[in-house]
Amino acid sequence: MNTGHEGSLTTVHANDTREALGRLEIMVGMAGFDLPQWVIRRQIAGAIHLVVQVSRLLGGTRKVVKVSEVTGVEGENYAMQDLFVFKQTGVDDQRRALGCFHATGLRPHCLERLAALGEELPLELFERRILHPGPRRAT
């Protein structure tokens, strides 16, 4: 992902966006590379811009529950900020999860990079607010 090729996508099994980066560190270590931990962290933080977490919620539906941006490394930890978070508020009469997405109000650092690549996102998208769901589709 750090070889100059733009636009990689991968899957990592983890319970949180931050934990996903820790899992990547473990996989690098299992590959047998004898690199210091700080080097591995910097490589991961330089290669990954966004982490999207998908979870299976009550009732079996899968939903994006968090979108986080990796902004670098601070000391021993990844610097990350949550951009969007799904908050479950209850369950419906069929025991399926109910809830809403929340925009945290933080603008991603990668907006300029996206604009330079021709992908301009409206700034209003990132304003702090609750994104109410539309009508539920039949399953």
pLDDT of 139 higher than 60: no
pLDDT tens by residue, 66-100 = 999 999 999 989 999 999 999 999 999 999 999 99
pLDDT for the residue 60: 86
Under the banding of pLDDT at 50, 70 and 90, the label for residue 111 is very high
* DSSP symbol at 117: T
pLDDT for the residue 135: 63
pLDDT for the residue 132: 75
Domain residue spans of the chain: 17-131
- The structure tokens 């690199």 sit at 35
Better pLDDT: 133 or 72: 72
C-alpha of 17 from chain center: 5
CA distance 105 to 108: 10
Residue 69, classed as helix, strand or coil, is: strand
Q: Angle, to 10 degrees, between the axis of helix 37-47 and the axis of helix 17-30?
A: 130
pLDDT for the residue 101: 93
Residue 94, classed as helix, strand or coil, is: coil
CA distance 129 to 23: 31
Average of per-residue pLDDT values in the chain: 89
Radius of gyration of the chain (CA): 17
Under the banding of pLDDT at 50, 70 and 90, the label for residue 9 is confident
Amino acid at residue number 23? R
**CA dist 78 → 11, 75, 102, 115 (Å):** 19, 8, 22, 24
Under the banding of pLDDT at 50, 70 and 90, the label for residue 8 is confident
Instruction: Provide the sign of the torsion angle of the four alpha carbons 59, 62, 63, 65, taken in this order.
Output: positive
